Amino acid sequence: MFSEEMTGVLFYVITSWHVIGVTAALILYLSLVGYVARSYRRPRFVSKSRPRKSRKAAAATASSSPIEASDSADTNEALGLEED
């Protein structure tokens, strides 16, 4: 089924300027589409925040400033609020 004639025809089809031109155009088009897709992709956000403290430093600051436990029944006068 795959004779010398078929091999010759396949060689002429593949080396035809039509096939080579369309293949080159497709490669250029797909490259352009990929470039545009990469340029319009959302940028990754790089946080430029403060350097984080180590766990030991965070634990030391937490233990050095104890939080006072307060009752949830604080009155407005104790909090300095006025009632209308």
* Ordered per-residue pLDDT tens for the chain, 84 residues: 568 899 999 999 999 999 999 999 999 999 999 999 988 887 766 666 666 666 666 666 666 555 555 555 667 677 767 766
pLDDT at 3: 86
Domain assignment present for residue 16? The answer is: yes
Number of domains in the chain: 1
Domain assignment present for residue 35? The answer is: yes
- C-alpha distances (whole Å) from 60 to each of 26, 54, 56, 64 are 63, 10, 6, 6
Domain assignment present for residue 29? The answer is: yes
pLDDT at 39: 87
Specify whether the CB–CB gap between 5 and 11 falls below 8 A: no
CB half-sphere exposure, 19, CA atoms < 13 A = 7
pLDDT at 72: 58
Closest to 37 measured CA to CA, from 26, 46, 29, 47: 29
Domain assignment present for residue 73? The answer is: no
Domain assignment present for residue 22? The answer is: yes
Domain assignment present for residue 44? The answer is: no
Q: Which two tokens stand for residue 35?
A: 């470039």
Q: Residue 14: give the domain boundaries.
A: 4-39
pTM of the model: 0.44
Which residue type does 31 have? S
pLDDT at 26: 98
Domain assignment present for residue 80? The answer is: no
Domain assignment present for residue 33? The answer is: yes
